[in-house]
Structure 1
Amino acid sequence: MAYKSYRPKDFEAFVTKHENRLYRTALAIMGNVSDAEDVVQETFFRTYEKTPEFESEDHEKAWLIRVTVNLCNSLLRSPWRKRTVQLLDSYPAGEAEQYELLEQIMALPPKYRAVIHLFYYEGYSIKDISGLTGRKESTIRSHLTRARQKLKSVLKEDDYESI
């Protein structure tokens, strides 16, 4: 039995349901507000055009994130892309430590930011991230390990500097 999908009259509710998750994902990968907004808008546009039937709510979520990640990767590869707005100006962090950590995460290359975001902020497993990004599980594990190592070394340096 197919999961009850949205219909065009319910599209506004569908967008409201998923917009924050997709925006956070796109923002983590793209690193700036305007590109993230463009990616999310394009994701919903493609969804509206195709009107896919989803097997479950998890399938719906995974499909949307996969489209978002693919659009981010396409935009990152485009030669005319320029970064103009810092993510940290718009991505809230409650405490100073969270802000510092977020600042270090945003300094990572996009491929590392994406796996960190999907793993820690969205709660996906390595296998799920592999499916969402179209990369091998071993590659995702490697990216996650390298991102953690980079963050660990930078955060240790910051601790020594504050002494």
Structure 2
Amino acid sequence: MEPETLFINSMDQLYRMARFMLSDVQDAEDAVQETYVRFLIRKPKLKDEEHGKAWFMRVCINICKNQLRFRNRHPQCNIIEVDTKGVDFGEREILREISLLPVKLRSAMILYSIEGYSVKEIAGILKISEAAVKKRLQRGREQLSIRLGGEIS
């Protein structure tokens, strides 16, 4: 059996295993895709169908373990998942829009508006100049204003 066909036949099993390990649809899809990419790069010599399935499973499991290790070392919290119980609808909409900003603008906006850091402190955290922080805040506010129809000052 061709290795590519073997992978296609094993995809559902790989996905189920990755989905179970990672508890996230996108991460599981990424793990299966990364398994195939590694197969294409390394081009292992597969003795038979069982050896091929075992190779794909082992690689996929290792990728899942790496992702879990990364999550543990770099905890993240999506701004949408933050507890917004005493926050009115307008503020929730602003939080959602901030979460959709490009990473550079979003990080500056979160540090300034939500976490309460000063421009100088943000410059130190992000390792950029104070002028760059001010520019990112300005651009972030402009984009939020456009998205929210001029509701941001």
TM-score normalised by the shorter chain: which range applies?
0.3 to 0.5
TM-score (norm: length of structure 1)? 0.43
Normalised by the length of structure 2, the TM-score is 0.46
Q: Which has the larger radius of gyration?
A: 2
Higher relative contact order (CA 8 A, sep 6+): 1
